[in-house]
Amino acid sequence: TEPTRALPADTRRLGGLSPGCPCPAPPAPRPPPRAPRAAPALRRLFAHPLYRAAPPGPAEPLLGAREALRYYRRKAARWNRRHKLYREELNLTSPAAPLPLRPDASWLQFHLGISRDGLYPRSSPAVTRLLRDMQEFPIISADYSQDEKALLGACDCSQIVKPSGVHLKLVLRFQDFGKAMFKPMRQKREEETPEDFFYFVDFQRHNAEIAAFHLDRILDFRRVPPTVGRLINVTKEILEVTKNEVLQSVFFVSPASNVCFFAKCPYMCKTEYAVCGNPHLLEGSLSAFLPSLNLAPRLSIPNPWIRSYSFDGKEEWEVNPLYCNTVREIYPYSNSNRLLNIVDMAIFDFLTGNMDRHHYEMFTKFGDDGFLLHLDNARGFGRHSHDEISILAPLSQCCIIKRTTLLRLQLLAEPEYRLSDMMRESLLQDPLAPVLTEPHLLALDRRLQLILEAVGKCIDTFGEATVVANDTAQPQSPAADRAKLDT
């Protein structure tokens, strides 16, 4: 087999692969973005009274506009200074005008729209613009994510759960200073996760991140950051714009003349773990960054229903059906909406098939009753042929659910608003459509019925008044349009 060929160290300065590189000619221009498709079914869903009800109380914003603008202007000025010094070090004499920070930038408007009610309001024009901008805007820098930088190129190969490596992700910055987390394609859509795979060694899937955003929006949780698919030219939009020498050093050309790169970690520095363009273009998901932790601190909290990350171990909740009684005695699950939000998260993860929810995050500003962020969804949508009932343990063990969540689930089980139809139509708006294969879409309907059956068993056992928490006043709507509570 022909050995892999490393790219020359000065590849980026030469404006791409060197003349002696065996790669083909520069790739054809990226096809124009596909126009958004009409979505009549989604419009009908979002016009339903359940999706128009006002949230309880005022929409308390996460950020103050003036404080946020001052902070991001300082960061933009710092970036321009560093970029100027970097160009001087490379003896690049062509002028580079400082990039201005626009107050109307879609990512900034997205940050300012975060409130106690969710990451974005319903029908948010800022989110619509942000999805388009992440798809189209030029990329001006690329770097490893902070958690991969924290490894300092070292992995503990004695651990079962290997950090980094097959979960390679990059931070991309756009011309308007917006940032997104890029997760490259590692698995084809039609490939199912092998049944012998443990959930903690599964691949992360870029299309799962995209589908999770659309599902979260259809469920009206609005707790997944805006995510869109994009074809990335790994040479021009990563290698040529990165200032990280470590990232530059892990690019190489494969025997098939494709440009590839991998994470800098001794265990994973092997070409079989690399991601490769075709020969330069690579699919991936782009998830919008949340506000800086300096502006909006977040807590990362272990999930009470965390799984064992060993080959044979089990956690207490896996062997004790009364485990929820213990959780209810622990603050803050004893006197807040936190437990209801955990059940929401379990329902969301069950629909996607994500077994890897070991932690959850939330903004400290909103206190114990704030919503949980549904981050890192790339291990969902791996097996459409299997429904992992254990993910529903918070629901089946605690037998409690928000009234609004149940009403929307029942609505999405109706033929007119079938969940698979809503998802199919919503995902057609993404530039990488089709995002999910048909078996994954149909699995959503099957899993939704299992959720409603679990709620029905709880109601039969404890009664509706105990199981269904009236988290907000029932929206006023014609009786024919209301989802009924009887299951």
- 287 known member of a binding site: yes
| Whether 427 contacts 210, CB under 8 Å | yes
* Secondary-structure breakdown of the chain: helix, strand, coil percentages, each rounded to the nearest 5: 40, 10, 50
Active site residue 356: yes
> How, if at all, do strands 401-402 and 468-469 pair?
parallel
Q: Are 180 and 286 in contact (CB under 8 A)?
A: yes
The verdict on whether residue 288 carries a ligand-binding annotation is yes
CB 42 within 8 A of CB 425: yes
Lookup: tokens for 122: 């319903």
DSSP class per residue in 84-137: HHHHHHTT--S--PPPPPPTT-HHHHHHHT-BTTBSS-TT-HHHHHHHHHHHHS
Other beta carbons within 10 angstroms of residue 165's beta carbon come to 19
Quote the DSSP letter at residue 414: S
Contact 266, 164 (CB under 8 A): no
Give the dihedral sign, CA 245/247/249/253.
negative
Nearest-5° Cα angle at 55, 50 to 58: 160
Q: Which two tokens stand for residue 387?
A: 């429904």
Indicate which residue of 356, 387, 421, 486 is catalytic. 356
Q: Is position 376 annotated in a ligand binding site? A: yes
The interaxial angle of helices 206-218 and 419-427, nearest 10 deg, is 120
Q: Please tell me whether 314 is known to bind a ligand.
A: no
Residue 184's nearest CA partner among 200, 203, 162 is: 203
Q: Is residue 290 annotated as involved in ligand binding?
A: yes
In angstroms, rounded to a whole number, what is the distance separating the alpha carbons of residues 418 and 426?
A: 12
**Residue 230 in tokens:** 């994009």
DSSP character at residue 468: E
Give CA–CA dist 242/326, Å, rounded: 49
Burial of 190 from C-beta contacts in 10 A (0-12 / 13-18 / 19+): exposed
Q: In what order do the strands lie in the sheet containing 251-253?
A: 5-6, 251-253, 259-261, 275-276
For residue 291, count other CB atoms closer than 10 A to its CB. Answer: 21
Amino acid at the residue 281:
L
| Known binding-site residue numbers for ATP | 183, 287-290, 361, 376
Active site residues: 356
| Known binding-site residue numbers | 183, 287-290, 361, 376
| Known binding-site residue numbers for Mn(2+) | 376
